[in-house]
Amino acid sequence: MLKRNMRMTGMVILLIAIGGCSSPKQSGKMQSMTKKYLSGARTIATGFQKELSSILKKHLLAGGPAEAIAVCADTAQELTRAFGETRGAIIRRVTMKPRNPADAPDEYEKAILEKFAELQQEGKLSSRSEYFEIVEINGEKKARYLKPLTIVPVCLKCHGTNLSPGVTALLKERYPHDKAVGYNSGDLRGAISIVMDVE
């Protein structure tokens, strides 16, 4: 597991930009490495988002927000962990306003979330925005990828400004320190964060 206090040592090997693309000149080896890990991370992020969204929809339809909250509360952490593990990656959902305290960002993730937030304020955050970098952590190369998550109407039932009394009560019970409410459609909610070993 990456620990909050883990120091990033060594150089940043590559920076693929947020929003647009401005990568420094790279060697051929680096280019193919980037291609491999970036495309791997994209596939994982997309698959993970699809899986979560289909589970959410299924339970919203079957039992409404109450059932969906219960399922989410009981399974989201484990599902996220297991989805990553079977694909050789560490996946987290991170946010500046966590519902589950386990989803607070590490220092690295926090810096990228802040960049995403800046982009959003400038109206430049899009569905294509992403962040990718190969870093060296304690002498080991890691690929780090973050993909922003934005609020769409279906999220408002549980993250919006006008929650039903039932949802409010349930959330209070399961998440006494919930910070993940008060969002509007289009707001930046957080990001999917992926870390992979680079071999």
Contacts to ligand HEC by CB under 6 A: 56, 65, 68-69, 72-73, 76-77, 93, 95, 98-100, 103, 149, 151-152, 154-155, 157-159, 180, 189-190
Q: Shortest distance, CB of residue 67 to ligand HEC, whole angstroms?
A: 8
Q: Shortest distance, CB of residue 124 to ligand HEC, whole angstroms?
A: 19
Q: Judged by CB, which is closer to ligand HEC: 12, or 102? A: 102
Query: Using CA atoms, how far apart are residues 5 and 24, in angstroms rounded to an integer?
Result: 29
Query: Using CA atoms, how far apart are residues 134 and 3, in angstroms rounded to an integer?
Result: 17
First to last CA, the chain: 17
Q: Judged by CB, which is closer to ligand HEC: 163, or 196? A: 163
Q: Judged by CB, which is closer to ligand HEC: 56, or 143? A: 56
Query: Using CA atoms, how far apart are residues 57 and 196, in angstroms rounded to an integer?
Result: 29
Q: Shortest distance, CB of residue 28 to ligand HEC, whole angstroms?
A: 37
Query: Using CA atoms, how far apart are residues 69 and 94, in angstroms rounded to an integer?
Result: 18
Q: Judged by CB, which is closer to ligand HEC: 35, or 57? A: 57
Phi, psi of 32 (to 5 degrees): -75, -30
